[in-house]
Every structure is written in structure tokens, then in C-alpha cells.
Amino acid sequence: MRVAVLKGGSSLERQVSLRSAARVEDALASLGHEVAPIDADSDLVRSLKELRPDVAFIALHGPGGEDGTPQELLEILGVPYTGPGVAACIRCMDKVLAKHLLREAGVPTPDWVAFNSTAFRELGAADALEEIEARLGYPLVVKPAAQGSSLGVRFAASRDGVPEALVSALSYDDRVLLERHVPGRELAVSVLDGDPLPIVEARPKEEDRFNYEARYEIGRTEYICPADLPDDVAADVRDAASRTYSALGCTGFARVDLMLDTDGRPDVLEANAIPGLTDTSLFPMAADAAGIGFEELVSRIIELAVERRGAAEASRT
Amino acid sequence: MTRIAQESAAEALQYGPTEGFDETKAAVRMVMEAEGMSPEPEDIIVTTGGQQALDLIAKTLVDPGDVVVCEAPTYPGAVPVFCSYEAETHQVPMDDDGMRVDQLEELCERLASEGRKPKFIYSVPSFQNPAGVTLSLERRRRLVELAHMREILVIEDNPYGLLRYEGEAQAPLYQLDGGDYVIYVGTLSKILSPGIRIGWAVAPPPVMEKIALGKQATDLCTSTLSQYFALEYFGEGRWRDYIGSLREIYRSRRDAMLEALDRHFPPQATWTRPHGGLFVWATLPDYIDTSDLLAKALRENVAFVPGAAAYVDGRRGSNSMRLNFSASTADEIREGVRRIGAVLSEQVQLYETITSEHRLPQPAQREPSGDVVPFRAPRGEA
């Protein structure tokens, strides 16, 4: 098949995307596919129209890549593409929307409050910080609503740290959420075609918690896969991940990030529509633990994309 | 380039001597003479850019755990060099007159009391990258004295010395020292082209021998083709005029940037006013993290270098930024600074809205996080 690999783009996660794509391109080539790498710039649509690929492998991360934008363009061009569809991408990229949907579906997610910058600038939202801290407590986590890879995520240990954390988070997006901090273990469950893969536990060095660089530098964070968990806890974690995948309407794959609180209960933080595929990424690591090598994973992802397109066409006729 | 292809292709495509062609060394001498230095040809080694010179010097001198001293902030490209040889790097604060040599003395004294001594002191004394400031003549003398007294090598990295737009030229450390303790690093990157990758080091013979051995191991010799290009350029004899025209262009760009900063940056920001070089260093309120601010600026299609890159610990300097005025036209600079000023002002206002008008107390004043204590009031004195 002729496979277009969409990569790069102008998001802050460009470098990660290029690394994901490089690995995918190698795998596709050794699977015998015709590989056409495309840097996602203003010529994207023209390139796709000229190339007429059988399928597009989306190796883009962050806003402009996994927020439904290239997915929408591929829909209109009639090119099957990998990963979740437009609506699921929108739901995953917007952490606030995702948390509402999770809560409605009964999936546990840490309590939160979300504002846009207008609420602070024009509606005096800062006056509500007393109520917010009464409800969420310290430390609290401040995040931009739409950004991957923990960019702009800050901890506020006390009231003093809140304004600075808000200013940082609001540099990445006009909307931020303040979230209750869940102490416990960091887990990631990748879901492939609805089935949860083995659970990965991330053990960052204490000073590197939620550090963007630490996530992509080999050796900065220790990963354990499969995570060492009692069977019943592992079952609960996989169940939370599957329900998250369904609640957000994902297809193909997604990676669900959770905290396991000190009582052994999972709390879902977010879902990533296009998880990283670099050699330090968790999705390929989990697949590997399930006996699915990288080439086989890429091959499955392509098949799922083509099947989904086929199913969509069948339902339309 | 055509002439080299026609007349010297055979030689230009061969290996050359490790320390560089004699003709290249003569050109290096010519460039250094323009700043009052006259090194012996045998003390010169031509390198693949000044960056390689720095790497080779560190490779030669530094064992893991050795102390290295540099400025705070320091040239961001030096940070990975010192880190890769596992140096224990100390950074000495600067002010308008460059490195605080008094604090350097205190540091050396403190280290001496522990029975330790820096392997070298690394400095960009003229139009420092990233801070833009220049070491005063008095401090240059004191630094050289200190080097002699304590027998510590100094690395003088001088890529911008010829790019002065106002004020008197300052004697290079190498000239003041006479080449006993000062190792000099130069480059053609800023006066000819960075793509040609020609730099050099000047060092006393025992150090030079080791640098040459390191160079042999790394890449045998600097590209002969590049050296031929450089010689062709110097042979034309217009290099002084070219630097003169660069000075004119960069001076007007610097002026455009300083004017735009006055106009568009909020009063909470301060910045340096460089007399030469390529960079202005701005320091913002300590609640602004320039790595985050960069994300916002990039959406406006404008960029700067976040200050943390100039610190070995990667943490200090998080409220500062390096602005480069060399590579854009005056109009682009004005527009770029306007956009950065706008996103910055927005964040400053947001912070003030959250803190002062409402119930949250202003956080207690923290220790300054950047070491360059700048510098001067943003408005008024020029």
C-alpha cells in the first residue's frame, strides 16, 4: 500500500512527532509498503491530493495534529487514516470536555475547576480561589486545557504558587483547569482496538515530575511494564481505561493516563488520541509487553484504519 | 568558488595538516591583528568552528568532577560542552561591566580553602552571548592578574570583538596576558559565514600539543575546501570593508531593537544595551517563565531564546530571554518586539489582575532567579 506518514507540523511537539514518524517510516518500509513522508505544512492538502495514498498514518502530536484538524481534512479527501476519528480527537484534546464526559459516564477523574482567561480578566475569577482551594486543596495541579506532553503543567503547593502557575498554563491555551492532586502511582494504559494492553507504570525521579524533557530522554524516567499490581487492582485500572476509550468514542487506539491513589483506586487524568511512538514511548512499550512487536503494531494500526473506512462507507450506502 | 574548482580542486579535495594551512593561520593572524593581537603561527590551530575549539580545549583539560568557571548567564553552546566532560561548573554573576571579577576572586578563594582550583575560567568578554555586556578594561586587567597569581587558565571566546557599534575597543585578554594563561578562541562565523565552519584556538605549546592530538582523533583536519574558500575571501582583500558594512547594518538593527523595547516592553522588564555583538538580554518579572512565554510568542510567529539555556542547572534565568538583532531587518525587529511585548504585557496584566485586585497576596519576594543583575533602567539613559 502507499502510506502517507503525516509528521512534524508547527506544534511544540514537533520534535517528538518527527521521532515517532521516523520509527513508523522504518517499520512501514520493512513491511513492504510504499512510504511517503509528508511534513504537515500549508502544502498538506495539495500533497495528499497529488499523492493519493491508500492510507494516511498520522504521527502528529499536540494541537493541530491530534485535535481533529488533519483528521477532518483526511475525511473530506476520503483518505483512510490511523487512530481515532474527528470527534474523539476533539474530545481527547480538550481536557475539560473529556473530564465532563468521563464524569457523566461514571469514570472516576480527579475533581477540577476550569476557567478561560476572560474569567480572570473580566469576571474576577481570582475572587473564587478561596472556594476553589477549599474544594480542591493543595497541592493543586494547574494545566492548560489543550496541550499534550505535560507542557505548561504546574503544581501549586500553596496559594502563593497559584498566580504564577495560572500565568504559565495560560501561555499555552486560553483555558486552564485547576485539578485536585492525586498522590499515588502514575499509570498509562494503551488501548488497541478497544482492548487494553499491559499497564505501564512511570516512576519519574522526584525532581523531574511532569517535566517535558524527562518524558523523552532515555533514562530520566523509569518505566515498568507490566506494572506490578494486584490482579483486582489491575483489572480495575484496565476497566477504567476501556471505559474512558468508549466514553470518548475512540477508535483504532488511544493511551489513557491515570493515577492510582493510595487506596488502590484509579483516577483518570486524560486520554491521548495520538500517543507517542518514539523509542521511549509507552504505547509501543505496552504493545511489546503483549507480544506485539513494533512492526506488527504498525501493521495492525494500518489494518484498523482501512477497516474503519470500509465500515463507514458500508454504513453510508 | 568557481575559481577554487578550476584551479585548486586537487588540493582542496585532499586532507590538510591537522593544525590548518599556514595560509589560513596567516589569515587568522590578520584578523587578530585587527584587534591588537599578534600570536605566533605555531600557537594557532584551525578548527571546525569556534565550537570545536571550545570542545577540544575542554576535552584536553577537564576530567570528571573538575571545576570550571563561566559567566552567569553563559554562552548556551558552552553548557553541553562542560556537561559532556562532567565538569563541576560554577557561574559567576555579571553586571553592566561584565563578569563580577570580585565575586570570581571570592569563588577562587573559597575553592582554594577546599584545596581545589578551577581548570579554567571561560569568558566571552566582548558583547557577551547571551547578555550583550562587555567586560571593562579594569576588570580585564584584574582577571588576567588573577590568572597569573593563581595560575589558572582563562579561555577568551571572542566571536564578536570586531562588531563594535559604539565606544572604545577594549584590549582582548589575550593581548593583556601575552598568551601565558589566556587561551584564545576565534571564529569566522560572525565576520564571514557560520556555514563555512572555520574557527581557531591560540594556546601555549603544552596545551596546543594536546589540542592537536584531540583534533587528530576527532576529525584529522579542518575541511580543506572550507579553508580554501576562506583564503579566497581574505585574498580579495575586502574583508575589512565587509566587516565595516556589517557594523553599519547591525548598528541600525540594534538601535531598532532598543527603540522597540522602550516602546513595547512593559515597565516591569529591564534589558541590556549592548555596544556591539548580536544580543540583547532582557529580564522580566520573576513570575514570568520565558519557556512558557515562548509558547505564546510562537503562536504570534516570533521567537527568542529562553534564558534557562544559559545556565548549567537549567533552572535559573527562567525569567530572562535572549533577543538576537542580527538576522532580521529593522522593520521585522520592530514588529517582532511589538508582538513579544504584547504577549508579555498580557501575562503581566493577568498576573496583576489575579494578585493585586483580588484577595491573593503578592507572593513574598524571592531571591532573584537570574544572575545578571541588569543592568539599567529600561527608559532614559541610553
Residue range A263-310, pLDDT digits in tens: 999 999 999 999 999 988 999 999 999 999 999 999 999 999 999 888
What integer is the mean pLDDT of A44-73?
A: 93
Mapping DSSP to helix (H, G, I), strand (E, B) and coil, where does residue A194 land?
coil
Average pLDDT in the B207-211 region?
Answer: 92
Pair B189, B68 in one domain: yes
Q: In sequence order, what E strands does chain B have?
A: 44-47, 67-72, 88-95, 98-99, 120-123, 153-157, 182-187, 199-202, 270-271, 279-283, 305-306, 320-324
Contacts of B301 in chain A (CB under 8 A): none
B103 lies in a domain? yes
User: Which residues have a Cβ under 8 Å from the Cβ of B287 and sit 6 or more positions away?
Assistant: A163, A164, A167, B319, B351, B363
Task: For residue B358, give the chain A residue with the closest CA.
Answer: A127
Verify that B197 and B264 share a domain, yes or no: no
In a shared domain, residues B19 and B162: yes
Contacts of B353 in chain A (CB under 8 A): 120-121, 126
Residue B187, burial from CB neighbour count under 10 angstroms (0-12, 13-18, 19+): buried
Residue B1 pLDDT grade (very low, low, confident, very high; cuts 50, 70, 90): confident
Alpha helices, H only, A66-173: 69-77, 86-93, 95-104, 117-122, 129-136, 162-169
Whether residue B135 is predicted with pLDDT greater than 90 in this model: the reply is yes
- What pLDDT does B6 receive? 78
Contacts of residue A129 in chain B, CB cutoff 8 Å? 358-360
B296 vs A contacts (CB less than 8 Å): 171-172
Contacts of B2 (CB under 8 A, 6+ apart): none
Q: What percent of chain A has pLDDT over 70?
A: 94
> Can you tell me the distance from the alpha carbon of A136 to that of B293, in angstroms, rounded to the nearest whole number?
27
Residue B22 lies in a domain: yes
Q: Is A201 a catalytic residue?
A: no
With beta carbons less than 8 A apart as the criterion, state whether B282 and B270 touch.
Answer: yes
Indicate whether B48 and B185 sit together in one domain: yes
Distances in Å between the alpha carbon of B352 and those of A34, A280, B124, B233, B287? 55, 40, 37, 55, 11
> How confident is the model at residue A149, as a pLDDT?
65
Q: Are residue B207 and residue B306 in the same domain, yes or no?
A: no
Binary contact (A126, B292; C-beta < 8 A)? no
- Please enumerate in sequence order all residues whose Cβ is within 8 A of that of A217, keeping only pairs 6 or more positions apart, or say none: A280
**Closest-CA distance of chain A to residue B278, Å:** 26
Active site residue A255: yes
Q: Are residues B45 and B143 in the same domain?
A: yes
Residues in chain B closer than 8 A to A131 (CB atoms) = none
Given A65, A85, A152, A276, which residue is catalytic?
Answer: A276
Last residue of some domain: B178, B212, B237?
A: B237
C-alpha cell at A47: 500533497
Q: What is the DSSP letter of B190?
A: T
The pLDDT, as a whole number, for residue B334 is 97
Q: Tell which of A10, A12, A167 to mutate to test the B interface (max B CBs under 10 Å).
A: A167
Q: How far is A182 from A257, CA to CA, in rounded Å?
A: 13
Q: Count how many residues are written for chain A.
A: 317
Contact yes or no for A163 and B354 at CB 8 A: yes
Please tell me the distance from the alpha carbon of residue B191 to that of residue A311, in angstroms, as a whole number.
63
B376 pLDDT tier (thresholds 50, 70, 90): very low
Model ipTM? 0.79
Co-location of B226 and B138 in the same domain: yes
Cross-strand bridge partners of residue A6: A38, A58
Q: Please give the pLDDT value at position B382.
A: 30
In a domain, B203, yes or no: yes
Tell me the pLDDT of chain A averaged across its residues.
91
The CA distance from A114 to A99, in Å, is 10
Same domain, B317 and B220: no
Tell me the C-alpha distance between B378 and B293, whole Å: 20
Q: Are residues B214 and B163 in the same domain?
A: yes
Chain B partners within 8 Å of A162 (Cβ): 354, 360
Quick one: B230 and B246 in the same domain? no
Residue A109 pLDDT grade (very low, low, confident, very high; cuts 50, 70, 90)? very high
Is the same domain home to B193 and B248? no
Residue in chain A nearest B354 by alpha carbon? A126
Percent of chain B's residues with pLDDT above 70: 93
Q: Is A81 a catalytic residue?
A: no
B131 belongs to a structural domain: yes
B8 part of a folded domain = no
CATH numbers and ranges of domains, chain A: 2-81 (3.40.50.20), 91-108+183-294 (3.30.470.20), 112-180 (3.30.1490.20)
Domain containing residue B192: 14-237
| CATH number (domain holding residue B210) | 3.40.640.10
Amino acid found at B102:
D
Q: In angstroms, how far is CA B175 from the centroid of its own chain?
A: 19
Write out pLDDT tens, residues A157-185.
999 899 999 999 999 999 999 999 999 99
The Cα of B352 is separated from the nearest Cα of chain A by a number of Å equal to 9
pLDDT score recorded for residue A215: 52
Q: For an interface test with A, give the residue of B79, B83, B350, B351 to mutate (most A CBs within 10 A).
A: B350
Looking at the domain assignment, is residue B349 inside a domain?
A: yes
Instruction: Enumerate chain A positions whose Cβ falls within 8 A of a Cβ in B.
Output: 10, 12, 117, 120-121, 124, 126-127, 129-130, 151-152, 159-164, 166-172
Helices and strands (DSSP H and E) totals, chain A: 12, 13
Cell matching residue B58: 575542554
- Same domain (yes/no): B197, B313: no
User: Which tens digits make up the pLDDT trace of B84-115?
Assistant: 999 999 999 999 999 999 999 999 999 999 99
Overall average pLDDT of the A185-200 stretch: 96
In the prediction, which pLDDT does B87 show?
Answer: 95
What value does the CA radius of gyration of chain B take, rounded to a whole number of Å? 22
User: d(Cα A103, Cα A111) in Å, to the nearest integer?
Assistant: 9
How many structural domains does chain B have? 2
| B370 within a domain of the structure (yes/no) | no
- Tell the residue number behind the cell numbers 493543586, with chain if given: A140
Task: Supply the pTM of this predicted model.
Answer: 0.84
Q: Does residue B20 surpass a pLDDT of 90?
A: yes
Q: What is the pLDDT of residue B315?
A: 78
Element (H, E) at A269: strand A266-272
Report if residue B233 sits inside a domain.
Answer: yes
Alpha-carbon B153 to chain mean position: 18
Give Cβ neighbours of residue A191 (< 8 Å, ≥ 6 apart).
A197, A241, A242, A245, A250, A253, A254, A255, A256
The Cα A95–Cα A179 span in angstroms is 11
Chain A residue with minimum CA distance to B366: A160
The chain B residue lying nearest A158, using CA atoms, is B363
Between CA B124 and CA A139 the distance in angstroms is 42
| Domain closes at, from B208, B237, B266 | B237
Say whether A263 is catalytic: no
A167 and B287 in contact by Cβ < 8 A?
yes
> B237-251: per-residue pLDDT in tens?
889 999 999 999 999
